[in-house]
Amino acid sequence: MNRKRQDRVTSPSPFMGRGDHLRSRWWAGPTPVSQCLTVVIAALAVSPAHRSLRSRSPLPMNGEGERRSMSLLAVLFLLLLLPFTAHADAAHADAAHDEARAKALYREVRCVACQSQDIADSDAAIAADMRREIREEIAQGRSDAEIRAGLSARYGDYVLFRPRFSLGNLLLWSLPPLILVGGIAVFVAISRRRGAARDYVLSEAEEARLRDILKNDR
């Protein structure tokens, strides 16, 4: 039977549950890596060394108010890092992790019998079969890449909503970023080349004609 479903039915609220789990991790103490990160940032926020950094930073630091707002920012950064420190070690290959992997994969796989629907959303029988297949493969310890390769070998590339990086798909993947980079390059080149501004001063003759026109029949 579906593990996901059972989880959902038994826990009173996935959000609540996750939150509790998270908080307990948070208070129990983060892992060394995230702990170090937090300590470094905290040190940066208050240490004299950071002051010297700040003097080199592009932001002009003049006055107590600025400094206070910078410390405020640093504290805010700390706050926002908390969820990560809490979760940095939660990503073990446990049931929850498998569950998340399976769900992410469902979103990438097309239900071959439906109209542009992924198998997560479809309640067709074939989608259920494919979901089960993916679950089994995850349980067997295969990596996401292996599972994707297996699926495309069995059903063809058609089944994957995220096309592979291949020579045939080169344009698909590379054109949007290329056009962005190219566009910026072209824009920079044009603005370099264009030296003279358009002159926004009317010449004598133009002034005279303009006065002439406006004076007419008024």
Partner 1 sequence: MIGLVLTCVVIAAALIAIVGLWHRRAPAIDALALAKAQYEGFVVDVERREGRGDIDAELANEERVEAARALLKAEAAATPAYSLKPAHAAIGAFAVAGISFALYALYIGHPELGDQPYETRVVQWTDAARRNIDSLPPEALSAVLHRRASEPDNVKNPDFWLFLGKVDMMAGRYYEAAKAFDTSMKLSPKTFTGWSDLGEALYFVAGGSVGPDSQKAFDLALAQDPKDARAHYYLGRRDLDQGRYDSARAHFVTAKAALAVDDIRQNAIAEQLAAVETAQSGEAAARTRIAGMVAALEAQLTEQPDNADGWARLLRSYDVMGDAAGKARVLKEMQAHYRDRPQVAADIVQKSKGAVGAENTGGQ
Partner 2 sequence: MTFLNEIGVFALVCAFVLSVAQVALVAAGQWKRLSGIERYSEGVSLAAALSLILSFAILIAAFVRSDFSVVNVYEHSHTDKPLLYKISGAWGSHEGSMLLWCVIMLSFGALITLLGRGLPDSLKHKALGIQGLLGAAFVGFTLFSSNPLGRLAEAPLQGRSLNPALQDPALAFHPPMLYLGYVGLSVVFSFAVAALIEGRLDRAWARWVRPWVLAAWVCLTIGITLGAYWAYYELGWGGWWAWDPVENASFMPWLAATALLHSAIVMEKRDALKAWTVFLAILAFTFSMMGAFLVRSGLLTSVHAFAVDPQRGILLLTILFVTAGLGFALFALRVPELKPGGLFAAVSREASLVLNNLLLSAALLSVFLGTLYPLLMQALVDKAMSVGGPYYLAVFGPIMLAAIAIIPISQLMSWKRSDLKGVVQRLGLAFGVACLSAAIGSLFYGGAGVWKQVTFFVGLLAGFWLIWGSLRLLMERVGFGAAAWRKFTALPLATHGMILAHVGLGIFVLGAVVEGHSRISIQQGMQVGDTVRLAGYEMTFTGTYRQDGANYDAQGGIFVIEKNGRQVCEARPQRRFYPASGSMQSKVWLCFEPLNDLYVVLSQPQESVGGKPVWQVRWFYNPWVRLIFLGPVLMALGGVLSLFDRRLRLGVATKARKLKEAV
- Residue from the set 15, 27, 158, 200 that interacts with partner 1 by CB under 8 A: 200
In the bound state with partner 1, the residue whose beta carbon lies nearer, of 139 and 213, is 213
Structure token digits, residue 94: 């446990």
First and final CA of the chain: distance in angstroms? Answer: 90
Segment near partner 2 (CB under 8 A), from 42-50, 132-140, 171-179, 206-214?
171-179
Q: Which does 206 bind (CB under 5 to 8 A by kind): partner 2, partner 1, none?
A: partner 1
Q: Least Å distance between CB 106 and partner 2?
A: 11
- Residue 214 makes contact with partner 1 by CB under 8 A: yes
Q: Which does 213 bind (CB under 5 to 8 A by kind): partner 1, partner 2, none?
A: partner 1
In the bound state with partner 2, the residue whose beta carbon lies nearer, of 80 and 205, is 80
In the bound state with partner 2, the residue whose beta carbon lies nearer, of 90 and 142, is 90
In the bound state with partner 2, the residue whose beta carbon lies nearer, of 8 and 132, is 8
Q: Least Å distance between CB 76 and partner 2?
A: 4
Residues that bind partner 1 (CB under 8 A): 2, 125, 128-129, 132, 200-202, 206, 209-210, 213-214
